Structure 1
């Protein structure tokens, strides 16, 4: 009789302790299975996505965009050329923060940019067509010396090397130059 009581008591203890332990183990296993899916959902914002997000917050024409770590720096000129905004786009979430605005721009300085048939986004796509990789920066370059304006695009190849391209703002033709290397060796990406 005593043996039956001991066995029943031991079985009760095992069931009382085993149930919550089994439930916790199952929950941990489910959580472990869902973590990779959540991590896989994280997608970095591309140059094109950063430009779109910036233009949604501050309509106009992208003058430049540049990836710096986890942030895209985007400069936008209003379509009348009279205002300029400095925006930051979070490279993970796409959240846009306005860092500054100049409401006293000289519209004449931006005449060529505003008249360009090829915008920053199209220039980035043209550069990647010449040298596959990821657009790292796009900037309008008019040299202020009367030279023909163009888009300067930096593309990071899958090999980690940076390639430069000049894109004609009228035709969209991209001309790639040689690898510029990562001279500061700071692994910007």
Structure 2
């Protein structure tokens, strides 16, 4: 009994004298080495691009991507359900985590039918735009507004390696890529080059 008392007393003295150092070294010894030595490049490899954001959003909410754009470190993705009625507004982090911001019923099922039935998806439109004009996709939007007489298409914004961004239209039926004259000013006089 006295022996246990002496051991407990000795342990108390050691903890009082070297407790913080011992606790720190014990915590360090139990911490996996991968978390302490992970290279900075590992963080960069996790950054989700537009295609990854679209895939993550569709895994969370099956349907068809209607629009996708990056705001800082977050991708905003709008998904229309295959039924043409469900509308999900999602955010995808650079790590690929999906957060549902809003899910509601869209009463424009007839308008969404063209999107849901489009032969060229948002993912295919992004690939087509990048094949014709290398860079990084910044945004993609469905456009079936026939005010200017154009057929349904995707607007894809691509940032080139030099930092310059350009807009391209990708046909919803044929995947044909053309330079878009719409640079945000709704002036579509030159958009007849399809």
Per the TM alignment, residue 104 of structure 1 is displaced from its structure 2 partner at its CA by: 4.0
Q: Structure 1 regions of 5+ residues with no counterpart? A: 1-19, 181-189
Measured at CA, do residues 104 and 149 of structure 1 come closer, stay the same or move farther in structure 2, by a change above 3 Å?
Answer: closer
1:121 corresponds in structure 2 to 123
Per the TM alignment, residue 144 of structure 1 is displaced from its structure 2 partner at its CA by: 5.3
Per the TM alignment, residue 103 of structure 1 is displaced from its structure 2 partner at its CA by: 1.7
Q: Paired residue for 1:156, among 147, 156, 159?
A: 159
Measured at CA, do residues 98 and 34 of structure 1 come closer, stay the same or move farther in structure 2, by a change above 3 Å?
Answer: same
2:89 corresponds in structure 1 to 86
Q: Paired residue for 2:177, among 169, 174, 177?
A: 174
SS at match of 1:87: strand
1:40 paired with 2:36, answer no
1:102 paired with 2:104, answer yes
Q: Counterparts of 2:73 and 2:173 in 1: how far apart (Å)?
A: 32
Measured at CA, do residues 179 and 163 of structure 1 come closer, stay the same or move farther in structure 2, by a change above 3 Å?
Answer: farther
TM-score after normalising by structure 2: 0.71
Question: Residue deviations 1:139-184, cap 9 Å, x none?
Answer: 001125364111000000110000111000111111134796xxxx
1:143 corresponds in structure 2 to 145
Measured at CA, do residues 106 and 178 of structure 1 come closer, stay the same or move farther in structure 2, by a change above 3 Å?
Answer: closer
**RMSD between superposed Cα atoms in Å:** 2.6
Q: Counterparts of 1:106 and 1:171 in 2: how far apart (Å)?
A: 25
Measured at CA, do residues 95 and 178 of structure 1 come closer, stay the same or move farther in structure 2, by a change above 3 Å?
Answer: same
Q: Paired residue for 1:53, among 38, 52, 56?
A: 56
Number of residue pairs aligned between Structure 1 and Structure 2:
151
Q: Structure 2 regions of 5+ residues with no counterpart? A: 1-20, 184-194
